[in-house]
Amino acid sequence: MDTRENVLIIGGGFAGLNLAKRLSRTKYNVMVVDRNNFHGFPPLFYQIASSGLDASSISFPLRREFRRMGKHVTYHMGHVKNIDIKAKTVTTSYETIPYDKLVIAAGTTNNYFGMEGLDQTVFGIKTVAEATYTRDEILDRLERGAICSDPVRRRKLLSFLVVGGGPSGVEIAGALGEMKKDILPREYPELNPDDLRIVLVEGSDKLLGSMDPRAGQQALDDLRHLMVEVRLGCVMKGYKDKIVTFADGTEEYWETLIWTAGVRGETMPGLPPEYVSRAGRIPIDPYCRVKGLDDVYAIGDIALLECEDYPKGHPQVAQVAIQMARNLALTLNGTKQPVPFRYNDKGSMATIGKNRAVVDMKGRFISGRIAWLAWMFIHLISILGMRNKLSVLLNWCWNYVTYSTSLRLLFRPAKYPLRKHWGD
């Protein structure tokens, strides 16, 4: 008779996957629920959107990864529809799963700060699906602009506004700037690069606010070199009918708005509101247990651990998620005395384009080609699967030498037959 406890993990991202890898196969049956049957690599989603990498190169099948762990780990596809704390069950789009211990590692989604309708009108790079859709729309604008005979309409078609000056915003703006500077003259001779307008807006007074001030200044200089206009202290208030309204009352037309301005925790239906804090994050104690609940834990971006070093919670980055997962695994496995979670900050980095990157690592600041090579190395070794690593490396090397890629392909999905469960 199987006496192992059932651990249900919601989310197959950095936190959920690392926890599933480390839980004892003799003590637990592990079930991972995720709407996607693959693990994506969010730091490189912007390269999908800019046609630098194919989505499959930075995605890895969860079932293949779990096969290596053993039969005690299983994958369940589905959206979470309800969490019943009392009955200890989670209901997804397709089934109801009982658990003994629940771990919420669902990550985050876009935060639109109360601006209604943005989720249906702006483009994002928060998921593989969003990044792929954004890539298709960018290519669509370039192709339509190339055959547009009206210069006024052409300039409107080729207007791109990036909202948010964090790493994601800086990286996608830099990628668009490289397309304007290097790709348009080669592959779109019908277009004048000056017709392509790229603007990055940031509400604060600097870019990359969580990093060393020198990183923000370097990113600003690099973006301007790539012909990207940067507006600091510029707050967006609304977007309707392709008209952006800013806090100072000005209004401007932008054909394509790419949103990278903020994130919030994924909504967990059924979880009582008293267990959810600001921006959808779930307060936890130093052992990753949800405050006020037994046998329910939260790790990764969705978890909120307030402590002396991080009074507003830890940064929502991959290293925090990975370290939380490792700490919780030690606690649940019981092989060692449980220790409170303490984040070991290994530094931050962002790339702005070829030979342009910034690295802020424990007080040391690096920029330029060395930082770019360091950024490439760290991201390359973090991708799952040897085939994926080789594919990404080959694409990067080819793009570096030729400024060209075979990935600027515009695939439009078929409309029929309709599959209603896609919206579940």
Clarify whether residues 357 and 247 are in a common domain.
Answer: yes
- Specify whether 356 is located in the same domain as 226: yes
**What does the pLDDT read at residue 418?**
73
b/e string for 121-155 if b means 16 or more Cβ within 10 A?
Answer: ebbbbbbbebbbbbbbbbbebbeebbebeeeeebb
Return the CATH number at 89: 3.50.50.60
If asked whether residues 227 and 372 sit together in one domain, one would say: yes
Q: What is the pLDDT of residue 337?
A: 83
Q: How many structural domains compose the chain?
A: 2
- Domain identity same for 171 and 314: no
146 located within any domain: yes
Q: Dihedral of the CA atoms 350, 351, 357, 360 (nearest 10)?
A: 10
d(CA 33, CA 52): 30
Give the model's pLDDT for residue 411.
82
Q: Looking at the structure, tell me whether residues 97 and 152 fall in a common domain.
A: no
Determine, yes or no, domain membership for 168: yes
Q: Do 281 and 325 share a domain, yes or no?
A: yes
Which CATH number does the domain housing residue 196 bear? 3.50.50.100
Q: Residue 56: inside a domain, yes or no?
A: no
Q: What is the pLDDT of residue 157?
A: 96
If asked whether residues 200 and 280 sit together in one domain, one would say: no
Using the 3D structure, point to which of 333, 364, 379 is the last residue of a domain: 333
CA dist., res. 66 & res. 68, Å (int):
5
Q: 184-189 long-range contacts, Cβ below 8 Å, gap at least 24?
A: 184/142, 186/403, 186/404, 187/404, 187/408, 188/142, 188/145, 188/146
| Last residue in a domain, options 333, 355, 373 | 333
The pLDDT assigned to 399 comes to 81
pTM for the structure as a whole: 0.93
Taking only the tens of pLDDT, the chain with its 424 residues reads 678 999 999 999 999 999 999 999 999 999 999 999 999 999 999 999 999 999 999 999 999 999 888 889 999 999 999 999 999 999 999 999 999 999 999 999 999 998 988 999 999 999 999 999 999 999 999 999 999 999 999 999 999 999 999 999 999 999 999 999 988 998 999 999 999 999 999 999 999 988 999 999 999 999 999 999 999 999 999 999 999 999 999 999 999 999 999 899 999 999 999 999 989 999 999 999 999 999 999 999 999 999 998 999 999 999 999 999 999 999 999 877 889 999 999 889 999 988 999 999 877 899 999 999 999 999 999 898 898 899 899 888 888 777 666 678 888 877 778 766 655 5
Instruction: Tell whether 294 and 373 lie within a shared domain.
Output: no
In a domain, 57, yes or no: no
Provide the pLDDT for residue 45. 95
Query: Which residue(s) pair with 201 in the sheet?
Result: 163, 231
Residue the block writes with tokens 């834990």 = 297
**Which pLDDT belongs to residue 101?**
97
| The pair of three-digit structure tokens given for residue 200, joined into one six-digit string | 């990055």
My answer on whether 244 and 383 are in the same domain is: yes
Residue 253 lies in a domain: yes
50 within some domain? no
- Whether residue 314 is found in the same domain as residue 377: no
Instruction: Decide if 58 is inside a domain.
Output: no
What pLDDT does residue 421 have? 61
**Would residue 415 count as lying in a domain?**
no
Shared domain for 139 and 248, answered yes or no, is yes
- Torsion angle, alpha carbons of 256, 39, 283, 167, to 10: -40
My answer on whether 273 and 322 are in the same domain is yes
Contact 382, 360 (CB under 8 A): no
Task: Supply the range of the domain harboring residue 223.
Answer: 118-261+347-402
